[in-house]
Structure 1
């Protein structure tokens, strides 16, 4: 459980000034919780560890992008982790079954065309999986991942208890993970 008085915002602003001690404090404060979430999302500890590492690299590199007025520092940390985890889940599904003639035409057009087709297939699969979720699970996930809202903000917006929102997001992410692996 995070310290109630830990000032995420000030630590992120210090990271933007390249203060390594502030970064180390952020890491010590949140790495274990972030690893737990990443394991839940990805289902594999090794990939979760890579995801948390990548997230902290991005946090360090992009700390100057954090804006206190937009949201909490802790939510910003977790949004980076979520995006990294989703990217890893999507990258698992990059294999697209295509006929040989189509693959040859893509090769002739260059790597950008093949990447575009793979990206569109991933987006289509994610969209289909999201549409398969019940609305009460899908809506909080969309608010968190696409709007960047914290759990508390989602609970307020949907006038639903915070614990219920957390549970719905957790269950929805598990269902998405299963759908993406199917």
Structure 2
């Protein structure tokens, strides 16, 4: 069991940094054995730095606090996945916080701003549309991959690079699809 003995403050010398990482690694390994004292010590040592990472990404203290709590819960539950041969405990924990924060940003961006209602596609399009039904009809005339790219961009808020990644399509192709789709929509709506 972890009793806190031998885990004092580490200096900022190069040797101290190595010793600090070794200690963090031992604390994570103690968490593998469900040692709550080791988790408390990890929290004491790492929470200020990890909170800074979460705050820089989220720019919202309450959300950063939630992400920090989720991250330490993940450290506790997944401590057995930590492998010193693959990297330092510090880097592993920073990665968990970054993943949690980015996942939160991504999920919030995907939620419609109107409280979950289906968004008005016509309001999202960069062309004047008087009749949403006309837009829906014109969208229906587009090839499926063009329509999907337009909806992902203008309704779901994905960037071109995110659409490329999500659809496993080259970025230039996604840009071309959206450009062509917008041109086709404009021509269709002007009929």
Question: TM (normalized to structure 2)?
Answer: 0.51
Residue 63 of structure 1: aligned partner: 79
Residue 53 of structure 2: aligned partner: 37
Q: Is the 8 A contact 1:90 1:122 kept in 2?
A: no
Residue deviations 1:127-156 (CA, integer Å, cap 9, x gap): 34999xxxxxxxxxxxxxxxxxxxxxxxxx
Which structure's CA Rg is the greater one?
A: 2
How far apart are the structure 1 equivalents of 2:30 and 2:24? 10
How far apart are the structure 1 equivalents of 2:99 and 2:42? 19
Q: Which has the higher helix share?
A: 1
Aligned runs of 1:1-182 on 2, under 5 Å?
Answer: 3=10, 4=17, 5-6=19-20, 7-95=23-111, 97=119, 124-125=158-159, 127-128=161-162
- Relative to structure 1, the CA distance from residue 80 to residue 19 in structure 2 (aligned partners, 3 Å threshold; closer, same or farther) is same
How far apart are the structure 2 equivalents of 1:122 and 1:8? 40
How far apart are the structure 1 equivalents of 2:55 and 2:66? 10
Structure with the bigger RCO (C-alpha within 8 Å, sep 6+) is: 1
Q: Is the 8 A contact 2:54 2:97 kept in 1?
A: yes
Say which SS state the counterpart of residue 18 (structure 1) adopts.
coil
Instruction: Give the aligned CA root-mean-square deviation in angstroms.
Output: 3.3
- Relative to structure 1, the CA distance from residue 87 to residue 13 in structure 2 (aligned partners, 3 Å threshold; closer, same or farther) is same
Could you list the runs of 5+ residues in structure 1 that have no partner in the other structure?
Answer: 103-116, 132-182
The runs of 4+ residues in structure 1 deviating greater than 2 Å are 2-6, 95-102, 121-131
Could you list the runs of 5+ residues in structure 2 that have no partner in the other structure?
Answer: 1-8, 11-16, 113-118, 122-131, 137-150, 166-191
Q: CA deviation at 1:58?
A: 0.3
Q: CA deviation at 1:95?
A: 3.0
How far apart are the structure 1 equivalents of 2:38 and 2:31? 6
How far apart are the structure 2 equivalents of 1:93 and 1:66? 30
Say which SS state the counterpart of residue 52 (structure 2) adopts.
helix
Residue deviations 1:24-60 (CA, integer Å, cap 9, x gap): 1110001011111211110100000001000000000
